[in-house]
Structure 1
Amino acid sequence: MNVDDLRAWSSAKDEPRWLLERRIRALELAGTLELPKVEKIKLEKWDIYESGDYKAENAWSGLEDAPEVVRGLVASPVKGGLIVQFNSDVVYTKLSESLAAQGVILTDLHTAAKEHEALVQRYLFQAVKPEEHSLSAAHSALWSGGVFLYVPDGVEVEAPIQAIFLNDTSGVRFAPHILIVAGSNSKIIFVDNCVSSGDDVKVLHNGVVEVFAGAGSKVQVASVHQLAAATTDFTQRRAVVLADGGVEWIIGEMNNGNTASDTKTLLQGNGAVSDTKVIAIGTGNQKSSYTTQARHFGRSSVSQMITRAVMLEEATAIINGITKIEKGATHCDGQQTERVLMLSPKARGDANPILLIDEDDVTAGHAASVGQVNAEQIYYLMSRGISRREAEYLVIFGFLAPVISEIPLEGVRGRLQDLVESKLGRS
């Protein structure tokens, strides 16, 4: 897309001038910046150069218009809120009347930029900046659809807010941007599912999640991706947490295609807390990179990161954990664990724990392991009359269970259990 096309498209969306100007600057940057550096991954060989064409979709009058794959993901009745993006457009939004009355906002990002301009302008692309690399710039220029979720100071939302991003057409633009702003002493649970309808759908998912957690707020973000083998998934997740606030990431990487995800929390305030749990299963010749990061600025801030990945067949995974404690961030505690289990001689896994400590009065630690499935465990289970396939499943599930069991959201926990079984060919 050139600048003239971008102007015409933005005008058709009736976007404010400041947003168009940001898009144009980002588009210019995209042509000058390099690809992101992904450890031990040759990103230039992936299908990451075509952002796709914008595909307009008609709004749904209700969920009866939704494909079965969407209806199967929706908890009924919708108690908190639900927003659905189909290819390039948001087609359905529902927010409970009680939450709307408390000032909670749930809408697509185009609408938010017009109706809640000051809020969006203040926060949009302040955590993931367009100048970081070419894919950030491309996303900043071309994002469409997206989600804006705002929770005012002191409002506690108990029922989850759910988002579904569905792609069923090759070659379309699929670049949703999620912007979550949680006020001081607020509480919110956000759950997103990113899915393909069809095994041969070929697109680039260039997605961004930005979370701003106010002082004393508690934000849970659960994200499950299940995209087709021909789809490339590049996702950046970023949270900024103020004093005594907390962000919990729960991430299920269940794609069938090449995947690079980077989940980073900036602990800006004193007493800020982050907790990141990632589980992943790779199959076929899938190549994946899963990076989790915690950067401590505030004193007495705490971070924990746990990643467990299972690689089957010829799949490859690079697991990076980075804990950075800045000078002056005293009494911090940063812990991380990365473990990779390989079930095939051709599968590959690499765990890279990194601690970058610029302050003395802190606690930090890491643990990492990469290995094949324990043959003695398989033999023991088979000696009890269990088939090899079932024995391998039990070992894998036992490997992932410590992470899955800690997921506090029952719906997400059940969904991940189902996806694990599906990826392992048990359903």
Structure 2
Amino acid sequence: MSTQTILPIDRQTIVELSQSRQEPEWMTSLRAEALELAGSLELPKLEKTRIDRWNLRSYGNYKPVAALTSLEQLPESAKALLQEENAENLLVQKNAGIVYHKVSEELAKQGVIFTSLEEALKQHSDLVKAHFGTVVAKDENQLTALHTAMWSGGVFLYVPKDVQVQVPVQALFLTDDADSSFSPHVLIVAEQHASVTYVDNFVSEGNLNSLVQNGVVEVVVKPGATVNFASVHNLNDSVTDLTYRRAVVENDAMINWVIGEMNYGNAMSDTTSVLKGNGSNSDAKIICVGTNDQKLNVTTRAIHFGKNSNSDMITRAVMRDESTAIINGITKIEKAATGANGQQTEKVLMLSPKARGDANPILLIDEDDVKAGHAASVGQVNPDQIHYLMSRGITREEAQRLVIYGFLAPVVSEIPMEKVQSQLQSLVERKLGQ
């Protein structure tokens, strides 16, 4: 047990901040309990990554932010991520708080709640209380405890029973102040037979002095519901990005993950589907690109409890310069999850002799009547492919570019959201074109 943890905030400050934001008593108490836990819990132990050696001291302080009068006030890098047709269903967080929020009348009439988590605590306290912390618990490790104590801003998306949301809802998270905390919490609840697509982007501006983004995503997918979750993280090298994403999926429900880990600084992400119900399904597509001396630890996980549950995960990582990536795929099939089917593929392509990538496929099977499979590879660009393309009059640079895009194509081409697909393609080109 750690006895020397220096917490970024004290109990009195946490309580006073919670009260000043008029949070319900249960949230104030939860924050205080979580901060106490953070003082005794260890950091997570990651596969082949010493996260305790990373600079995790700069959390910043809670600072209120002024609302935007127009989206034109956003920096160009942030505006480029927005679709005009989605401006009605958009939430923007800048540093520690929400600065823009708009939802269409159509969604409101359907009973859909799409608002900041802070506002939801005031308007829908019982609904938030019923789900907050039920997917990612405060006592899992020091990071989850600190997040529970310090989160601010955030998103609450609630879709009532049988409601099909036809247009994507979008959130943008922007940090440009090294002294301001930046730890949003996303909570999504899709009731029985509901469906929704949620897309978010994380961007940063300026030198943020090793600021830590400690974020959590909780998704509750009720029986027969479908949630499509797409997230692209594109924070600069002065931010350390730590993110837990997790969904609990009930009978005949579906979670689709599309994740782009396009950060420039050190990053840890854990994307997990808990297939609780019979006939539950999970599909995860992950892309990450490492440059310079980045250290990445990316885990994709499916835990099968339900009978006839299905999971599929595909991860592609491209590493250049002196970057390092640990890519973990974990399929856990619990006892009595008969008929479960878990498949995974992890592949790492290294563009430099100094880059390093580890692909770790892990199958943990406690039931006999199941299907499970994995494939993993780590390698450099095939010189024969480059030679063949060059023999057709293509330059070496262009040949290497084509090989890289061919490597990523199995993930990019299958992304069902065209905007996310094109955005990821653009960010890949930008990172690899340096």
Same fold (TM over 0.5): yes
Whichever residue aligns with residue 83 of structure 1, its letter is L
What residue number does 2:244 align with? Answer: 236
Cα distance in 2 between the residues matched to 1:305 and 1:73:
26
Whichever residue aligns with residue 299 of structure 1, its letter is K
Aligned equivalent of 1:18, options 11, 26, 37: 26
What residue number does 1:68 align with? Answer: 76
Aligned pairs for 1:8-407 within 5 A: 8-78=16-86, 81-198=89-206, 202-407=210-415
Change in CA separation of 1:119 and 1:411 when aligned onto 2, cut-off 3 Å: same
**Does the CA contact (< 8 Å) of 1:256 and 1:282 recur in 2?**
yes
**Does the CA contact (< 8 Å) of 1:184 and 1:215 recur in 2?**
yes
Deviation (angstroms), 1:60? 1.4
Deviation (angstroms), 1:386? 2.3
Q: Which moved more, 1:143-152 or 1:171-180?
A: 171-180
Q: Secondary structure at the match of 1:132?
A: coil
Cα distance in 2 between the residues matched to 1:204 and 1:382:
44
Percentage identity across paired residues of the two chains: 55
Deviation (angstroms), 1:69? 2.2
Q: Structure 1: where are the runs of 5+ without partners?
A: none
Cα distance in 1 between the residues matched to 2:106 and 2:180:
36
Cα distance in 2 between the residues matched to 1:27 and 1:150:
28
Q: Which moved more, 1:45-54 or 1:233-242?
A: 45-54
Q: Structure 2: where are the runs of 5+ without partners?
A: 1-8
Length, aligned pairs only: 426
**Does the CA contact (< 8 Å) of 1:169 and 1:201 recur in 2?**
no
What residue number does 2:419 align with? Answer: 411
Deviation (angstroms), 1:79? 6.2
Cα distance in 1 between the residues matched to 2:85 and 2:71:
11
Cα distance in 2 between the residues matched to 1:390 and 1:333:
39
Whichever residue aligns with residue 294 of structure 1, its letter is A
Q: Secondary structure at the match of 1:393?
A: helix
Question: CA-to-partner distance for each residue in 1:166-215, whole Å, 9 max, x for gaps?
Answer: 01122321100000000100010000000112366631010100000010
Q: Secondary structure at the match of 1:330?
A: coil
Cα distance in 2 between the residues matched to 1:161 and 1:238:
19
Q: Secondary structure at the match of 1:130?
A: coil
Cα distance in 2 between the residues matched to 1:101 and 1:56:
31
List structure 1 segments (4+ residues) > 6 angstroms apart after TM superposition: none
Q: Secondary structure at the match of 1:298?
A: coil
Whichever residue aligns with residue 80 of structure 2, its letter is G
Cα distance in 1 between the residues matched to 2:118 and 2:352:
46
Q: Secondary structure at the match of 2:139?
A: helix
Cα distance in 2 between the residues matched to 1:229 and 1:312:
15
**Does the CA contact (< 8 Å) of 1:291 and 1:321 recur in 2?**
yes
Cα distance in 1 between the residues matched to 2:349 and 2:210:
28
TM-score by length of 2: 0.96
Q: Secondary structure at the match of 2:406?
A: helix
Q: Secondary structure at the match of 1:386?
A: coil
Cα distance in 2 between the residues matched to 1:424 and 1:285:
14
Across the aligned residues of Structure 1 and Structure 2, the Cα RMSD in angstroms comes to: 1.1
Question: CA-to-partner distance for each residue in 1:2-53, whole Å, 9 max, x for gaps?
Answer: 1111111111111110000000000000010000011101101112133211
TM-score by length of 1: 0.98
Question: CA-to-partner distance for each residue in 1:98-142, whole Å, 9 max, x for gaps?
Answer: 000110001111111111011100100111111000011000000
Q: Secondary structure at the match of 2:85?
A: coil
